[in-house]
Amino acid sequence: METISTLGSHSALDVCEGAKRHNFKTLVVCKKGREKPYDKYYKTRVRNGVIIGVVDSTIILDEFRQIANKDVQKKLEDTVFIPNRSFAVYVGYDTIERDINFPIFGNKFLLRAEERDAPKNQFYLLEKAGIKMPKVYRKPEDIDSLAIVKVSEAKRRYERAFFIVSSYDDYMEKASQMLSSGAVREEDLRNARIEEFVIGAQFNFNFFYSKVNEELELMGLDTRRQVDLDGFLHLPADVQLEALKHKRPKNIEIGHFACTIRESFLEKVFEIGERFVSAVEKEYGKFAGPFALQGFVDGEEEIKIFDVSLRMPGSPGTRFTPYCYYLHRRGCGVGERIAVEIREAINKEMLDEVTT
């Protein structure tokens, strides 16, 4: 197993760069029309006598889901595949769990837990871990304060449309607007999650659980950039109100930026991470690799988690936060940390412990 592979989207370059640092070969499975970052711009090659780039080889498919084809799987059976969000979205959980036979880093059966309608999902795990979450309103009629409605987009099923409400009447008015515009579907609105709107500082706490060393590491913290929402937030309040008459901001994630948290808060951060690992191991057995707890620190300085990522995060900028330096005495991206874990697992004959 001297090759690390992944899907050409989301965080593939971070995976490949980390793999190359530890002398692994890299292979990226791409979709036709989206292959150039991997097959051209960051392809491994020699320039002026120096090796540059991080992607050694690619497999280019018409659709990502063709990764389950037998001929493609044959090319991946001697690699360790690193899952990301795009892998789950475009290939699908049933296919991943039932049909994929090449080794996947981490527990592939845990990927489904990100979905809100799955049994033993992320909220179930957060509850088992005793981690605080925003208050949930079971039905729109219960809304009695500022709340956020999270509902799947009509077109991009894997993304969510959000709208803010403060009462049942407010909900009915804004839900009607979302439906009439075609932004959401009625059946999805019925299954939407309605949460307390937490006013606080938002953080993604990016962890890595080492099964080889049985130790939790904090890789770094980041927060999100979200297309035109960021533009709205930079406008004065009176201009925002005028702009909202003509355009509703979208929460589509377009990037991340690294951040830090007050050092006296680190014990609380590690505590929720350790409790989450314990809950996952109790409910799912095998657990290895990266995960993120996404939430707020509110005005009472309490952490409230509203979302969980159970695979490679999409934020390579976490390497520029100081937390890996504090532990490893140098910077380390999540892609490299995965490569280190795989190398140690191979050396200790523990690869089965960190893959499914």
Q: What is the mean pLDDT of residues 187-204?
A: 84
Distance CA 171, CA 169 (A): 5
149: left (phi over 0), alpha (psi -120 to 50) or beta: beta
> Looking at this protein, which amino acid is placed at residue 83?
P
Q: Which residues contact 122 (CB under 8 A, 6 or more apart)?
A: 113, 114, 116, 307, 308, 310
Question: SS3 of 125, please?
Answer: helix
pLDDT of residue 160: 67
Q: State the pLDDT at residue 270.
A: 98
Token pair belonging to 255 = 């990037």
- Rounded alpha-carbon distances, angstroms, from residue 15 to 65, 80, 276, 286: 20, 11, 24, 22
CB within 8 Å of 26: residues ≥ 6 apart: 3, 4, 5, 15, 16, 19, 20, 44, 54, 55, 56, 57
Convert the pLDDT of each residue in 271-291 to its tens digit.
999 999 999 999 999 899 999
Higher pLDDT, 143 or 231: 143
| pLDDT > 70 in the chain, percent | 92
3-class SS at 341? helix
Sheet of 147-152, strands arranged across: 136-137, 193-196, 147-152, 160-165
58 close to 36: Cβ distance less than 8 angstroms? no
131 backbone dihedrals φ, ψ, rounded to 5°: -95, 135
Tens digits of residue pLDDT in 166-184: 888 888 887 787 777 776 7
- For residue 43, give the DSSP letter: B
21-25, 253-257, 340-344: segment of lowest average pLDDT: 253-257
Position 211 scores a pLDDT of 96
Task: Report pLDDT for 151.
Answer: 80
Q: Taking Cα atoms as reference points, which of 305, 292, 312, 285 lies closest to residue 120? A: 285
pLDDT at 4: 98
Compute CA distances 249 → 157, 167, 203, whole Å: 18, 21, 21
Burial 296-328 (b: 16+ CB within 10 A, else e): bbbeeeebbbbbbbbbbbbbbbbbebebbeeee
Which pLDDT tens digit goes with each residue over 48-62?
Answer: 999 999 999 999 999
- What structural domains and CATH numbers belong to the chain? 3-104 (3.40.50.20), 122-131+200-354 (3.30.470.20), 136-196 (3.30.1490.20)
Per-residue pLDDT band at 251 (split at 50, 70, 90): low
Alpha carbon 219 to chain centroid distance?
14
Average pLDDT, the chain: 90
Residue 179 pLDDT:
78
What number of other Cβ atoms are within 10 A of residue 235's Cβ? 13
Would you mind telling me the total number of residues written for the chain in this entry? Answer: 356
In the predicted structure, residue 355 carries a pLDDT above the cut 90 = yes
* Sign (positive or negative) of CA dihedral 37, 112, 288, 347: negative
Q: Quick check: 10 and 312 in contact, CB under 8 A?
A: yes
User: What beta strand segments (E) does 40-155 contain?
Assistant: 45-47, 50-52, 57-61, 79-82, 136-137, 147-152
Residue 297's identity, in one-letter code, is V
Would you state the pLDDT for residue 325?
Answer: 94
Query: Which carries the bigger pLDDT value, residue 116 or residue 86?
Result: 86
Query: How much of the chain, in percent, has pLDDT values that exceed 90?
Result: 65
Q: Could you tell me the two tokens for 249?
A: 């901001």
Confidence band of 8 (pLDDT split at 50, 70, 90): very high
pLDDT score, position 240: 72
pTM recorded for the entire structure: 0.89
Predicted confidence (pLDDT) at residue 23 exceeds the cutoff of 80: yes
DSSP 339: H
Residue 125 CA to residue 293 CA, distance in Å, equals 11
